[in-house]
């Protein structure tokens, strides 16, 4: 289980460049829309940014629990023969994420369409929470933001189908979310610098291909590619 969580955390770190590209504009705009006295105080600004991310990761955990329950039902239906299939599927998902980060598999973003209907229902709530004027309001906005259609998050949810229970799904998405924190929190403070870094093709290519290689290595040498076995 520990190795699985570490892997999920690493995926979050590798995916941070994607988060800069997709969420950087959101959190940057939210940061600059805060009252001047908040933006002038780094500790208060950090509290708001942390609240945004806490709400976001909380939504990831809820989604992970739901998908973990589905995965448990799926494994119960498939029996032992389903483990090999889920192992191969988990590896393919991880390779797809890595190639997407590297800019070699942009088609992965099409998975975001799955969440469009839900997001259309949540958007009015998100607009109602703006402008953010308290930490609790930032937490609530972050919780709504966590359901924003995102190919990276959806791919991780597909990966989490390989978990055997609700707790496993929640833990894997929590580890992934924590892995994204350095980039997402950093965007609010040093938006320009991280944005320039994210636009460097060499950096994205190295991160994505490293993730793909790690997924293949886990499959070839351990036969346990990012999936917990009983």
CA atoms of 219 and 221, how far apart (whole Å) = 6
Does 228 reside within a domain?
no
CA atoms of 81 and 131, how far apart (whole Å) = 52
Q: How many structural domains compose the chain?
A: 1
Does 179 reside within a domain?
yes
Does 52 reside within a domain?
yes
Contact 8, 152 (CB under 8 A): no
pLDDT along the chain (230 residues), means of 10: 76 71 68 83 88 95 93 79 74 86 83 88 89 92 91 87 83 92 66 61 82 80 52
Does 171 reside within a domain?
yes
Distances in whole angstroms, Cα of residue 182 to Cα of each of 16, 50, 110, 118, 194: 8, 11, 26, 28, 11
pLDDT at position 135 is 93
Does 24 reside within a domain?
yes
pLDDT at position 105 is 87
CA atoms of 169 and 159, how far apart (whole Å) = 9
pLDDT at position 228 is 46
Domain that holds residue 53: 2-221
Does 229 reside within a domain?
no
pLDDT at position 229 is 47
Q: For 24, how many CA atoms within 13 A lie in the half-sphere containing its CB?
A: 23
Does 227 reside within a domain?
no
Does 230 reside within a domain?
no
């Amino acid at each position: 289980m520990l190795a699985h969580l570490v892997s999920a955390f690493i995926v979050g770190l590798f995916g941070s460049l994607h988060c800069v590209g997709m969420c950087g504009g959101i959190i940057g705009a939210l940061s600059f829309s805060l009252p001047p006295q908040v933006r002038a105080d780094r500790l208060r600004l950090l509290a708001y940014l942390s609240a945004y991310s806490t709400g976001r990761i909380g939504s990831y955990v809820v989604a992970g629990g739901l998908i973990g329950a589905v995965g448990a039902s799926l494994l119960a239906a498939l029996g032992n023969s389903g483990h090999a299939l889920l192992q191969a599927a988990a590896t393919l998902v991880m390779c797809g994420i890595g190639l997407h980060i590297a800019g070699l598999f942009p088609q992965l973003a099409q998975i975001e369409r799955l969440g469009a209907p839900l997001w259309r229902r949540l958007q009015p709530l998100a607009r109602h929470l703006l402008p953010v004027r308290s930490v609790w309001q930032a937490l609530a906005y972050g919780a709504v933001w966590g359901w924003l259609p995102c190919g990276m998050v959806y791919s991780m949810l597909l990966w989490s189908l390989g978990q055997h229970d609700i707790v496993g799904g929640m833990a894997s998405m929590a580890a992934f979310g924590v892995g994204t924190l350095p980039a997402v929190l950093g965007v609010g403070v040093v938006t320009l610098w991280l944005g320039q870094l994210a636009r460097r093709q060499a950096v994205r290519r190295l991160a994505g291909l490293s993730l793909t290689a790690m997924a293949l290595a886990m499959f070839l040498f351990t036969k346990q590619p990012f999936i917990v076995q009983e």
